[in-house]
Chain A
């Protein structure tokens, strides 16, 4: 059972990080390319997504 809980946590964390990067990185990229024509929003999006994903991981697995 303990191993299964670990597998759950492991793949959930991977999933959250992927989603964070894809969604906010993608949003940043689109904003860069089509809306503001800047070059730094993709990076901001990636960082935002990663931060949000880590926060979610903490919310779900870090607090008791």
Chain B
């Protein structure tokens, strides 16, 4: 990952190549660091919640309290407030989504792991595809296929000829732009964040190893900025996990509503 050349070539700025990590074992091509991190996140999330819920007691232990805080946040603030009376059905999905995305995002700043798997666009695509199927399925089940499509395509209260202009926009919004923006928002934030950290940390390292004394003296500034941006990244990572789950909940709520 660190492609720093110490002499001759000058500073090599981080690029998209830094995201193409080689397989961990030569013979197993698909097992790269992001894949490993995704598996790790699944194990960690499951383990955390199984352990925190196993000895559930009226007076909670610290671990149970931590687990329940996250669960209550997703259930009350995301599911109940947004979806309304039928929210309980969707809590498992939203909860899994939130914790999975959050854990993978935070891996981006955990020492030694330090790679957000969501900066590979395939992962957000798959998650957005899940959300896409969930909210359309829910809408079709609730209202019937034809009525659901009619509600999407025809905004009420418009003179008929205007539908020629509006209907394609509505259909493109629901079936193309929504899943695309959902995944690309997460991907772009994680990608840009990781790149930003690489610039400052690798730049600082380069300055420190430069023979010029002035560069050495100035290198702490780059590192300080890198550390400050790490905290900023933490904020972005939490926010993106929240937004992804919130928008999924909003789409489900929209599909459940009789009128949009």
Q: Is the CB of A59 within 8 A of B157?
A: yes
Main secondary structure of the interface of A (DSSP, over half): helix
B157 proximity list for chain A (CB < 8 A): 59, 63
Question: What's the count of A-B pairs with C-beta under 8 Å?
Answer: 60
Q: Is the CB of A4 within 8 A of B82?
A: yes
Partner of A23, one of B155, B162, B169, B181: B169
Q: Is the CB of B246 within 8 A of A4?
A: yes
Q: Is the CB of B178 within 8 A of A56?
A: no
How far in angstroms is the closest Cβ of chain B from A4? 6
On chain A, the number of residues with a Cβ less than 8 Å from chain B's Cβ atoms is: 25
* Nearest neighbor of B156 in chain A, beta-carbon distance: A59
B158 proximity list for chain A (CB < 8 A): 59
Q: Is the CB of B173 within 8 A of A60?
A: no
Q: Is the CB of A16 within 8 A of B169?
A: yes
| Bound CA–CA A48/B168 (angstroms) | 12
| A10-51 interface (Cβ within 8 A of B) | 11-12, 14-16, 18-20, 22-24, 48-49, 51
Q: Does A8 contact B (CB under 8 A)?
A: yes
User: Which of A20, A49, A53 neighbours the largest number of chain B CB atoms within 10 Å of its CB?
Assistant: A20
A20 proximity list for chain B (CB < 8 A): 169
Q: Is the CB of A56 within 8 A of B155?
A: yes
Q: Does B145 contact A (CB under 8 A)?
A: no
Q: Is the CB of A24 within 8 A of B168?
A: yes
* Nearest neighbor of A18 in chain B, beta-carbon distance: B177
Q: Does B166 contact A (CB under 8 A)?
A: yes
Partner of A22, one of B170, B172, B243: B172
On chain B, the number of residues with a Cβ less than 8 Å from chain A's Cβ atoms is: 22
Q: Is the CB of A15 within 8 A of B177?
A: yes
Q: Is the CB of B250 within 8 A of A4?
A: yes
Q: Does B260 contact A (CB under 8 A)?
A: yes
Q: Is the CB of A15 within 8 A of B155?
A: no
| Bound CA–CA A61/B215 (angstroms) | 55
User: Which of A7, A15, A55 neighbours the largest number of chain B CB atoms within 10 Å of its CB?
Assistant: A15
* Nearest neighbor of B250 in chain A, beta-carbon distance: A8
Q: Is the CB of A52 within 8 A of B169?
A: yes
Partner of B169, one of A4, A14, A19: A19
| Bound CA–CA A60/B177 (angstroms) | 17
Q: Is the CB of A56 within 8 A of B81?
A: no
Q: Is the CB of A22 within 8 A of B177?
A: yes
Q: Is the CB of B166 within 8 A of A52?
A: yes
| Bound CA–CA A17/B157 (angstroms) | 20
How far in angstroms is the closest Cβ of chain B from A54? 10
Q: Does B235 contact A (CB under 8 A)?
A: no
B260 proximity list for chain A (CB < 8 A): 60
| Bound CA–CA A55/B176 (angstroms) | 20
Beyond A12-B173, A19-B173, 5 additional pairs, beta carbon < 8 A: A15-B177, A53-B169, A55-B166, A56-B170, A60-B260
* The 7 residue pairs across chains A and B that have the minimum distance between CB atoms: A19-B172, A19-B173, A52-B165, A23-B172, A19-B177, A15-B177, A23-B168
